[in-house]
Structure 1
């Protein structure tokens, strides 16, 4: 989460530690194609935290903590879907997500850590609160770059897998060619159904 003065500009297609932290957190949801919900309850959330030193490592978590993690994650996924231009995530859903993230920012404040090597944001809290603060620090760090919009969620429902858009023009919409093909096929079949239901021309 650090930014040293005079450091070289990061390539827009470079996945930074901040991006990795955000994606690690948002890509924990069940998606209907094999990925399991990793924040189902306190035990599963604690098991996930134990795997990541960046989030504080081994931590006791309750079911309420897991629910808070799901809410924070879902708000972030909505923002990432908006980055991908997903119409269903715009308007009221995005406004709700942004309100939730503002509340989270007040609940899990960040501290500025200044050293001779640079400056970083870090959570001064412990336990689950530190984990949430670490996510917000990563978001804040990367969002200050011009490439914040490159962190997206796949527009193929129910995938919504978070990914970093490495395309030259930042126009990627799907996490993989497979998801893009699924959406194209669904759209093609929908057009076929609509055409078959149209009255014949006279």
Structure 2
């Protein structure tokens, strides 16, 4: 699927996008888009969760991957109708209990100003887990989909009016399908 190191943000929600930090899951476990702690920090920034890369440790990376896989299994289970594993639910709930990043008031010469407190990895993982709870436990769960491209394992929320979206991205998998059908004469 092209650039293996670039992050994918086609999921529609932070928790869904976080599951895309493993690419090509269909290919013998796929490949890791979070190979080191710095990549986790970059993902948090590129995902719009924080304005600056948080300091990440090896332990943070292990925890993030554990959360990601629990969220992925729960979302995939939702799609297939498989019962949720207790340990995955416990992992998501444990992280969802962490306080999310906060803003605070700061006194300046111009008066009061809202300022984001530098985010920590636990606060960002808490934010991702809380989003997963909202997706899986709310109305968005019915809109959760897996890309129809057999060589893509990305999940996404179908926000189309008809609820018939098939591709993680029309610009990627959707256009590939259209081109393949065009070349095969299925216009």
Taking the TM superposition and a 5 Å limit, the aligned residue runs for 1:1-202 are 19-31=12-24, 36-55=31-50, 57-85=52-80, 90-91=82-83, 94-106=85-97, 108-110=98-100, 126-143=119-136, 145-154=138-147, 159-166=152-159, 175=168
Tell me how large the CA RMSD over aligned residues is. 4.0
SS in 2 for 1:66: helix
Unaligned runs of 5+ in 1: 1-17, 114-123, 180-202
**Residues 113-142 of structure 1, C-alpha deviations (whole Å, 9 max, x = no match):** 9xxxxxxxxxx8831112112213333444
| Native 8 Å contact 1:19 1:151 kept in 2 | no
Distance in structure 2 (CA, Å) of the matches to 1:156 and 1:95: 30
Shift of the alpha carbon at 1:79? 1.4
Which structure has the bigger radius of gyration? Answer: 1
| Native 8 Å contact 1:39 1:67 kept in 2 | no
SS in 1 for 2:33: coil
Matched residue count: 148
Distance in structure 2 (CA, Å) of the matches to 1:135 and 1:55: 12
Shift of the alpha carbon at 1:112? 10
Q: Normalised by the size of structure 1, how large is the TM-score?
A: 0.54
SS in 2 for 1:71: helix
Change (3 A) 1:101 1:168: same
Unaligned runs of 5+ in 2: 1-10, 104-116, 178-187
**Residues 72-119 of structure 1, C-alpha deviations (whole Å, 9 max, x = no match):** 111111111122116xxx24x63331122122233x145999xxxxxx
Q: Normalised by the size of structure 2, how large is the TM-score?
A: 0.58
Structure in which a larger fraction of residues adopt helix? 1
